DNA sequence: TGGGCATGGTGACTTAGTCACCGACGCAGG
DNA sequence: CCTGCGTCGGTGACTAAGTCACCATGCCCA
């Protein structure tokens, strides 16, 4: 199940290509990651096969899963995948403990990051509990569009972003397309009106 | 909007009756609470009026909201209500900072609690994203039943526990009643078969 | 060039959420 | 004791979302 991890260590350096699975549910935590470049997608897959993206880790952010595992000495409960090539540092558990104890700046940075993450989680819970699919999808499209308005994700991937099903996303995208808000192509959505999507995301 | 807070301080002592609103969205955080006795219910209410209970704080646990506010110097985004009479300590922000810096045991306790809280959150997200109402309600009933199998909550309150609507809860409870799993009375549900509910909660 | 996989479109159905409304209970104030 | 009002719960009718089954198309590459 768990093939050798292609992460390379060079005196705590971490570098790995896009697509690398950094951790899976039940893996033990091998250290605290400090990203300098790249993005990690952390997602949860339920028994029924429904996947939902919890958050992404970028430079200057922390992986909450990792924090949790280190603090409680437990295994991971979610999956972490490198979305792009990664560069950063891997701080082994012992070293992490030491720095938390001795470096107020490091500690403060971790706290702030944890607090920030928590705010994201709250937003996710609120969305799941009460926002319409239309609003959640509009928000996800805006969040993941590049400068030119291109969103390079399959309907399946978009469904995971909002914790819904592929068919539901397909149908909603069709409605957006019929309204002239987006253009659809295989593996790609192009935003034609960010303002209209913003409106939908806010729930109107 | 915000009447004077009936929490009484006596050299950092905290004591207040059941029903006290400890904080609301946009309140500033006045300190870190360490509970000795009682339970605080923390919930979010979305724009549409849908309420969802995020978690409860009991003795030995921490309020993640409070941690977040202190770490980032922000205001609360959720509401906290005393479910029972509360007894504990209120640690002012400055003192909290000092103890985090100087007392490894205190720091470790806070970390562990934060980590624990996050695990709860993950479970909540997973439930919202993929569990059926039947399963979520069964789980909530089991979690909130007293030793005799009594759950003293209105259908409205149960709906908030699982982030759904009152009518949906009413109908599901009727189905449970018709199956002989629970008995219904005004403001109360009595569990007749915990094992059947456990089965439903696990999704079968 | 022709499988085979990934992607996505669609109909038919089930489950969940919403809206509107009503009735039943329970507790004051007369 | 009755009355009135607020809370609580039940229900029909509808909309939104999720599921299941299946098929069509594009695309990669053997």
Residue A194 contacts residue A142 (beta carbons within 8 Å): yes
When pLDDT is cut at 50, 70 and 90, the band that residue A162 belongs to is very high
B104 pLDDT exceeds 70?
yes
Q: What number is the average pLDDT over the span B197-204?
A: 93
Q: Angle, nearest 10°, between helix axes B166-178 and B155-162?
A: 110
Q: Predicted confidence band at A1 (pLDDT cuts at 50, 70, 90)? A: very low
CB of B73 within 8 Å of any CB in chain A?
no
Looking at residue A153, what is its pLDDT? 98
The percentage of residues in chain B with a pLDDT greater than 70, rounded to a whole number, is: 95
Q: What percent of chain B has pLDDT over 90?
A: 72
Q: Which residues pair with A191 in a beta bridge?
A: A182
Determine the pLDDT at residue B1: 39
What does pTM read for this prediction? Answer: 0.91
- Beta pairing partners, A91: A32
How far off is chain B from A162, nearest CA to CA, in Å? 9
Three-state DSSP class for residue A32: strand
What length is written for chain A? Answer: 204
Q: Terminus-to-terminus CA distance in chain A, angstroms?
A: 46
At B30, the pLDDT band (50, 70, 90 cuts) reads confident
Sign of CA dihedral A183, A189, A195, A197: positive
For chain B, helix (H) and strand (E) counts, in that order, are 7, 11
User: Which strand (E) or helix (H) includes residue A49?
Assistant: none
Mean pLDDT on A182-195:
98
Choose the weakest-confidence range: A143-147, A187-191, B57-61: B57-61
pLDDT tops 60 at residue A6: no
Chain mean pLDDT for chain A: 91
Residue A11 has pLDDT above 60, yes or no: no
Give the Cα separation of B152 and B174 in Å (integer). 17
Q: Which residues pair with A182 in a beta bridge?
A: A191
**Touching check for B192 and chain A: CB below 8 Å?**
no
Instruction: Give the nucleotide nearest to B137 (CA→C1').
Output: C16
Q: Determine contact, residues B85/B6, Cβ cutoff 8 Å.
A: no
User: Could you read off the pLDDT of A55-88 as tens digits, one per residue?
Assistant: 999 998 888 889 988 888 899 999 999 999 999 9
Predicted confidence (pLDDT) at residue B6 exceeds the cutoff of 60: no
> Which residues in chain A touch residue B104, judged by CB atoms under 8 angstroms apart?
101
Residues of chain B positioned with their CB less than 8 A from the CB of A128: 125, 128-129, 163
Q: For residue A132, what is the nearest residue in chain B, using CA coordinates?
A: B48
**Residue range B55-71: average pLDDT?**
89
Please say whether the beta carbons of B174 and B191 come within 8 A.
Answer: no
Phi, psi of B60 (to 5 degrees): 85, -5
Quick: pLDDT tens for A21-59: 999 999 999 899 999 999 999 999 999 999 999 999 999
- Give me the pLDDT at residue A203, please: 85
Q: Do A52 and B129 touch (CB under 8 A)?
A: yes
DSSP assignment of B107-160: HHHHHHHHHHHHHHHHHHHHHHHH--HHHHHHHHHHHH--TTSEE---HHHHHH
pLDDT of residue A186: 97
* Residue B29 scores a pLDDT above 60: yes
Residue A195 dihedral angles phi and psi, to the nearest 5°: -70, -40
Which residues in chain A belong to E strands, given as ranges? 8-10, 13-16, 21-23, 32-37, 40-45, 51-57, 79-82, 86-91, 150-151, 182-185, 188-191
- In the predicted structure, residue B183 carries a pLDDT above the cut 80: yes
B118 — contact with chain A (CB < 8 Å)?
A: yes
For the sheet with B79-82, list strands across it: B21-23, B79-82, B40-45, B51-57
């Amino acid at each position: 199940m768990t093939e050798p991890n292609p992460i390379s260590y060079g005196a705590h350096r971490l570098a790995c290509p896009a697509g690398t699975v950094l951790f899976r549910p039940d893996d033990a935590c091998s250290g605290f990651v400090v990203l300098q470049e790249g993005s990690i997608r952390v997602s949860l897959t339920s028994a029924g096969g429904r996947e939902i993206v919890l958050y992404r880790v970028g430079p200057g952010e922390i992986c909450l899963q990792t924090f949790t595992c280190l603090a409680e000495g437990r295994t991971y409960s979610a999956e972490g995948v490198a979305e792009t090539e990664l560069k950063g540092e891997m701080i082994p558990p012992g070293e992490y403990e030491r720095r938390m104890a001795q470096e107020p700046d490091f500690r403060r940075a971790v706290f702030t990051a944890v607090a920030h993450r928590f705010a994201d989680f709250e937003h996710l819970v609120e969305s799941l509990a009460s926002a319409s699919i239309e609003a959640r999808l509009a928000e996800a499209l805006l969040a993941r569009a590049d400068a030119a308005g291109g969103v390079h994700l399959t309907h399946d991937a978009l469904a995971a972003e909002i914790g819904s099903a592929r068919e539901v996303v397909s149908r909603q995208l069709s409605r957006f397309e019929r309204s002239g808000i987006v253009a659809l192509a295989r593996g790609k959505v192009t935003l034609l009106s960010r303002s209209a999507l913003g409106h939908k995301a806010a729930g109107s």
